[in-house]
Chains A and B, each alone.
Chain A
Amino acid sequence: MFGLNPLQFIFRLLIGADQPRAVAGGLAIGFFIGLTPGWPLHILLACLLLLILNVNISAAMIAMGLAVSLSWLFDPVINAIGSLFLQDIQALHSFWTWAYNNPVLAWTRFNNTMVMGALISGGISAILIATVGASLLIKYQTSWVAKLKNFKVFKWLQRSILARAYAWLAGGA
């Protein structure tokens, strides 16, 4: 029932069932992975982190899908960012040359403008999502979840046959 995970995730997010930091962490890593084309070394490491760290994988999947869509939309910008860092900033050239000749770093394909652009923009976005997202989720859970649970619509939804069918299909939320 993998396809139902996003729905389950949204529902659990609404009712505050998951750890805010785990959700934010999943979103951050997923967004980072989704933004980068191909499978360079740092993305494989990010995937390992996703599996090893106790972050929300459903959140990561949703963020990954979102990032892939956004990267198609913004790839000229991402490419320009990569080109800026790799070519236009002269001060970084000696560092890039060193990295280029490093056998391990070469596997990251950092010298590709798209990969570098995605690394920069995805990295910044991931940090923002992990920090700001976590604090927003905590705020939401402390001040909004209790109020939301008292809404009649929400109560009706919880009791509805649809919710019970979903809980049964998903193996119990």
Chain B
Amino acid sequence: MIIRKSAAALIGVSLVTGGALFLVLKNSLIESQLEGLLTKQFNAKSEISGLSLNPIDLQGQISKIEIADQDRPIQNLIQSSKAEADIAGWPIFRGNLVIDTLSIKDLEIGAPRTTSGALTTRVAAKKTANNTGQVTPASEAPTTDIAAEAQTDETNGKQTEDDEINWKSLADNMPKLDLSQASKQLNIPDLTKGLELQSLKQIQQTKQENKQKIDELKTQLDNDDLKKRIAETKQQLATLKTRNITDIKSAEKALKEIESIKKNVAAINRDYKKINNDANQLIRASTLQKSQLSENIRQDINTAKQLANIRNIDTRDIAIILFGPATMQKMQQIMQYADMIKQYIPESEPEDPNERRMGRDILFPVTRGFEPRLLVRNMAFNGRHGSKIFSGSLQNFSSNPLRYQKPVVLSLDSRVNEASWHLGSTLTSVGNNLNNNIQVIGKNIKNQTIKLSKRKDPSNPNRAILTNSDIVADLTVGKNILSGKIKLSADTLDLTFAQKATKKFDREIQNALGKSFRNVVINATLSGSFTKPGLTLNTNIDQRISKRLKAVIGDKIAQANKKLENHVTNSIAKELNIANKDIAAYSKPVKAILSGNAKDSRQLNQLRTQTENDLKAKLSNLKKAHARELKKKAENKLKKSLKGLKL
């Protein structure tokens, strides 16, 4: 016989016994499986008790469900003693827990725990290692629950610092307006203390450059051969003048030499003229003009205004100044919802380490639906948190949303007094696409107070009270980018001040801003990277606030600006004058050289003319003497001839 009958019978009996054991132990087994999965998912102790399942359809009740808060282990994140679940049967045999429907009633949030909900050392250390992508050696792991908790907090804190928006920095970098300044008699030099004027720098720099040019010119003039050439020519003329000229021939020769010297003198005159022109041009150009500084003067005035913080009442600034920090606070609150939701959605289930003989799992396209380790298809819940009553639903909550691919949809409605709040979110994935939506809607909020400014002076409003307001916030979030808008509308907005006004100016400001604004709408948009999002903000009361403020402080600000402008331009004019005086002083030796050259040149010309004239006169005299001599000789010769004739 090819089959062992006894073995077949034994296997049959084993299967039946196993099945029976499963039926008996299934509740404990599923409880333990569910606890393990929830603990892994929420990174905190999760306890399930009193699970009773119908063995046929696997529908059942849970008498108590507690999930500790990983950030505050002394309290529960959620707790309920009334839950009904419909669990899918086959996935249990595959090691997965798929809950088709889960209904939780009387859900409590933040209920205190009797024992710490922190994970034991090994689990916490493993989870931390998974988070950071590194393996923590057992020897380095903390030894107590508290240490594990501290480490978790530290890790979370670090993540917040590195990856999330620095709300404080954003709020600090917003424009601020100090209205109290307009009430004071402005001491402009004090306000501009420490101001470095670019114009003054430009004056100093140009002065140095021009001084260098003048110095170079002086060196050039000192080394010039013009003086030498003048001296040589003078020497030549003096030689000619003192030469003993006795006959016409030598006189004519000297006159010819004078012609040659004349050409040299003309060349010297030309060179001198050129040098003189160039030098005078350079000296003239060295004198600084105010027009050269106009661009820097304009910039200096703006810088001084910024330093003195005398800002014009710009309608664009009003919204940011008044509501910027408060809007950031609202955004921060909404982002906390996003963070809370996101932290429970890991990117994927941790992969098994690739050991020898483990091989690699090849993932093929999922066509019939991927089954994660934990899946809650539909969950409905209601409960109470303090004075808030809430109800909501959650769909497609899974341990591996990246592969499960169906969006996690959360809807939460709560009611506090007469106000109603709705939180809705659709999280598709945690990839860097803007496809996760979070919406917060608040309706009919009777009195909403917005903290405006930390300043406590009586001229700056520190709170805005919105009556009958609605808020709608839509946020689209990727892993590192976000885009969102908040619309806040209210029937009335009242600005209040921390201190009662005692001075006239403060009273004027408080009267101007203290009257209610009706039908207020504030729109804010936030977009960009998580760490540096850009904020734009506008309100329909910008113009109204601006108008009221301008009526009180507009003139004072205009006057202050004028004073500031004069202060800056006067400072520059003074420095300009000093610089030009310095340049004139530097130019003095150069001018003396030029003057000396001119004198030399004039003397040379005179000498040349005088010498030439002397020579010409000498030649003329010689010629006359020669003529007289010839005449005398001719007369004598004629007399002798006449004597011989003896008529």
Contacts and interface: CB of A to CB of B under 8 A. Distances in A.
Interface string B1-42: 111100110110000000000000000000000000000000
Contacts of B639: none
B638 interface: no
A52 B363 contact: no
Interface stretch (B114-122, B365-373, B571-579): B365-373
B359 interface: yes
Contacts of B366: 100-101
Contacts of B357: 37, 71-72, 75, 114
A83 B360 contact: yes
A103 B11 contact: no
Contacts of A116: 359
Given A51-B4, A51-B7, A52-B3, A112 B359 contact: yes
Nearest to B355: A37
B56 interface: no
B359 A114 contact: yes
Contacts, number: 74
Given A97-B364, A101-B368, A48 B4 contact: no
Interface string B347-378: 00000000011111111111110000000000
Given A37-B357, A75-B356, A75-B357, A111 B364 contact: yes
Interface in B270-324: none
Contacts of A48: 11
Given A48-B11, A111-B364, A79 B359 contact: yes
B4 A52 contact: yes
B359 A97 contact: no
Contacts of A140: none
A107 interface: yes
A98 B360 CA distance: 19
Interface of B: prevailing SS: loop
Contacts of A52: 3-4, 7-8, 11
A103 B4 contact: no
A77 interface: no
Contacts of B364: 93, 96-97, 100-101, 111
A117 interface: yes
A135 interface: no
Contacts of B358: 37, 112, 114
A124 interface: no
B503 interface: no
B11 A51 contact: yes
Given A37-B358, A51-B11, A111 B363 contact: yes
A135 B363 CA distance: 42
Chain A interface: which size bin?
20 to 34
A109 B357 CA distance: 14
Contact-residue size bin, chain B (C-beta under 8 Å from the other chain) = 20 to 34
Given A97-B364, A103-B94, A54 B359 contact: no
Nearest to B7: A51
Contacts of A101: 364, 366-368
Interface of A is mostly: helix
B248 to A, nearest CB: 124
Interface in B607-643: none
A89 B356 CA distance: 24
A116 B643 CA distance: 166
Given A51-B4, A53-B4, A54-B1, A97 B360 contact: no
A110 to B, nearest CB: 9
B492 to A, nearest CB: 61
Nearest to A118: B359
A113 to B, nearest CB: 4
- B11, B359, B361: residue with the most chain A Cβ atoms closer than 10 Å: B359
Nearest to B356: A75
Contacts of B361: 109, 111-113
A75 B4 CA distance: 34
Given A48-B11, A53-B3, A111 B362 contact: yes
Contacts of B4: 51-54
A63 to B, nearest CB: 18
Nearest to B370: A101
A133 interface: no
Contacts of A54: 1-4
A117 B359 contact: yes
A158 interface: no
B362 A103 contact: no
Interface in A12-45: 37
Contacts of B10: 51
A75 B363 CA distance: 21
Contacts of A75: 356-357
Interface in A40-82: 48, 51-54, 71-72, 75, 79, 82
Nearest to B93: A107
Given A103-B94, A109-B361, 14 more contacts: A52-B3, A52-B7, A54-B2, A71-B357, A72-B357, A97-B367, A101-B366, A101-B367, A103-B368, A112-B360, A113-B360, A113-B362, A114-B357, A115-B359
27 contacts: A37-B357, A37-B358, A51-B7, A51-B8, A51-B10, A52-B3, A52-B7, A53-B3, A54-B2, A54-B4, A71-B357, A75-B357, A79-B360, A82-B359, A83-B360, A87-B362, A100-B364, A101-B364, A101-B366, A102-B368, A107-B94, A109-B361, A111-B361, A111-B363, A112-B358, A112-B360, A114-B358
The 7 closest A-B pairs by CB, nearest first: A114-B359, A101-B368, A100-B364, A113-B359, A51-B7, A112-B359, A97-B364
